Structure 1
Amino acid sequence: MKLTKYLNLLLLTAFFIFSSCVILKQSSKPTLFLIGDSTVKNGKGKGDGSLWGWGSFIGNLFDEEKITVENDALGGTSSRTFQTNGLWDAVLVKIKKGDFVMMQFGHNDSSPLDDTARARGTIKGIGMESKDTYNPIKKKQETVYTYGWYMRKFINDVKAKGATPIICSPIPRNPVNNDKVVLANDSYASWAEEVAKAEKIDFIPLNQIIKDKYAALSAAEVKTFFTEKDHTHTNEAGAKLNAAAVVEGLKKLKQNKLNNYLK
């Protein structure tokens, strides 16, 4: 009887030690947090309606024994509403020293500042301008800032946590027009790069990397990466191409420690 109790105690102790080691290992692993709009995570990130964001596939390109990849992007958000709707606060509280935060915003920032549908727009540019406006969604006054102001807020918050911020320029929309690939410049891609340079953080020219890939393809081939529902959202093939493009850009950032966790 005593031997049985001793063995049970020994097994229980071993279980607690093992569980503690697993928890310690998990907590010591860095996390790559992804924040952005629907082109990073569409819906719940499970391909509803054949719509996919690149954040749903990029985890497959990392060694998840060494790093956790968490996709906290949300469709419909801008750099402004990701913060003002409390989404950023929910991510920020989880960030610890040694983590990474990769951000991609811009697709929704060009929306109106105070429309009754979303009220998600930001002032164009990266300056310090602001505008006091009535937010009809929240039914209160709100001071709205520039795209660059909100991006700097993300960066400063991440740095304050001892983590590493990385900006990706927004993916290009479907460039096929009248059965031709028409590659246009994107102001938000340029502003994203300007903010990264000014704040001395790493930047992935995702917009240009993907456009370079499209330039080598026919219009029919490019169309296979997008859904037929709109000219912005990618299907599974497009999201996987974009995820690979993110990693392609990351590999060129020789000093970025996130490269150590790639497969």
Structure 2
Amino acid sequence: MKARNTFLSAVACAEAALTVHLCGDSTMAAMTGAVQGWGEYLHYSFDPALFAVHNAAVAGRSARSYTREGRFNAVLQVVQPGDWVVIEFGHNDGGSLGSTDNGRSDCYGAGGETCATTYNGVNETVQTYPTYLKRAGAAFLAAGADVVISSPTPNNVWESGSYSWGPDRFAYYSWLAAEELGGTSAGAYFVPHGAYAAQVMKSLGADVVNENYPNDHTHTSPYLADIMAGAFVYGLTCGTSELGRSAVNSTASLAAVFGDCITYNATVPL
């Protein structure tokens, strides 16, 4: 009987654990060599008995290409009610559509605009960035998950020799998508990850930050990827989500490193 009780307890624990699924690009993905994505460090902020982290981010992807390749659908197939899905793109979503279409650029705009293109010999109707996020987010919400739309991490804020950063259109689009999914009352949350990451990189200073962008101005060393993960978690704890309240890091302990909580709303410029 004791062995059976132990077995049943183990099963109960396994069934109780929820999953945080990560959908994004190389800044979040598992990488090799001198660079690493921040998603690889997120699990340190959660009790493994409560949350597992499934890093489904893939290098080189945009919201458009991640959709076209069926990667959102692949995550949807394994999502369980009560899970969380974090969506963060933006680094590969810019550019223009045309004869040199790279398969990643989204249609420009904040609404339901569409663009016709041909990619790899296939006609494609390209959506806007917010549309891709909202379609994926709505599917995850319908499956019983909660969704976090996160703004993209910054490029090196010290690259020019002095600190420089401001929210770009993808930061605004991310906020907009979360709002148009119904916001917190619908289980759709926004984290201004880029703003928190820029804030802590300003504090770290040029020498530390420059040293930890070893290859280019986008991809971080393991050390800075860990910082980026902390910035995301701090954004969660400054918000109202149950996921933020579940982080093992207290808001106060994170504030000592990452600074003040940030207010983000529709007044942020495009």
Instruction: Between 49-58 and 215-224, report the one with greater CA deviation.
Output: 215-224
Correspondence for 1:85: 69
The verdict on how the C-alpha distance between 1:97 and 1:193 changes in structure 2, with shifts beyond 3 A counting, is same
CA distance, structure 2, for counterparts of residue 190 and residue 178 of structure 1: 24
Counting only pairs closer than 5 Å after superposition, residues 45-64 of structure 1 correspond to structure 2 as 45=30, 47-64=31-48
What runs of 5+ residues in structure 1 fail to find an aligned partner? 1-9
Amino acid at match of 2:203: A
TM-score, length of structure 2 as denominator length: 0.83
Correspondence for 2:78: 94
Correspondence for 1:7: none
Aligned-pair identity (%): 30
Q: Does structure 2 conserve the Cα–Cα contact (< 8 Å) formed by 1:109 and 1:147?
A: yes
SS where residue 172 of structure 1 aligns? coil
Instruction: Between 192-201 and 176-185, report the one with greater CA deviation.
Output: 176-185
Correspondence for 2:213: 226
The verdict on how the C-alpha distance between 1:178 and 1:126 changes in structure 2, with shifts beyond 3 A counting, is closer
SS where residue 190 of structure 1 aligns? helix
Amino acid at match of 2:23: I
Counterpart selection for 1:250 from 209, 215, 236: 236
SS where residue 190 of structure 2 aligns? strand
Q: Give the CA RMSD over aligned residues.
A: 2.1
Counterpart selection for 1:166 from 142, 148, 152: 148
Q: CA deviation at 1:76?
A: 0.6
Amino acid at match of 1:143: T
Q: CA deviation at 1:63?
A: 0.4
> For residues 1-21 of structure 1, what are the alpha-carbon distances to aligned partners after superposition, in whole Å with 9 as ceiling and x for unaligned?
xxxxxxxxx99xx57x75565
The verdict on how the C-alpha distance between 1:23 and 1:124 changes in structure 2, with shifts beyond 3 A counting, is farther
The verdict on how the C-alpha distance between 1:126 and 1:20 changes in structure 2, with shifts beyond 3 A counting, is farther
SS where residue 50 of structure 1 aligns? coil
Counting only pairs closer than 5 Å after superposition, residues 205-224 of structure 1 correspond to structure 2 as 205-224=192-211
Counterpart selection for 2:134 from 132, 152, 160: 152
Residue 35 (structure 1) aligned with residue 23 (structure 2): yes
Counterpart selection for 2:221 from 235, 253, 259: 235
Q: Does structure 1 conserve the Cα–Cα contact (< 8 Å) formed by 2:38 and 2:229?
A: yes
Correspondence for 1:188: 170
CA distance, structure 2, for counterparts of residue 157 and residue 34 of structure 1: 15
Amino acid at match of 2:191: I
Q: Does structure 1 conserve the Cα–Cα contact (< 8 Å) formed by 2:165 and 2:198?
A: yes
SS where residue 48 of structure 1 aligns? coil
CA distance, structure 2, for counterparts of residue 96 and residue 114 of structure 1: 39
Q: CA deviation at 1:49?
A: 2.0
Q: Does structure 2 conserve the Cα–Cα contact (< 8 Å) formed by 1:34 and 1:70?
A: yes
Amino acid at match of 1:95: V
CA distance, structure 2, for counterparts of residue 236 and residue 117 of structure 1: 32
> For residues 189-208 of structure 1, what are the alpha-carbon distances to aligned partners after superposition, in whole Å with 9 as ceiling and x for unaligned?
11111222232121111111
Correspondence for 1:4: none
CA distance, structure 1, for counterparts of residue 136 and residue 202 of structure 2: 32
TM-score, length of structure 1 as denominator length: 0.85
Q: CA deviation at 1:27?
A: 3.2
Correspondence for 1:6: none
SS where residue 253 of structure 1 aligns? coil
Q: Does structure 2 conserve the Cα–Cα contact (< 8 Å) formed by 1:114 and 1:120?
A: no
How many matched pairs?
A: 243
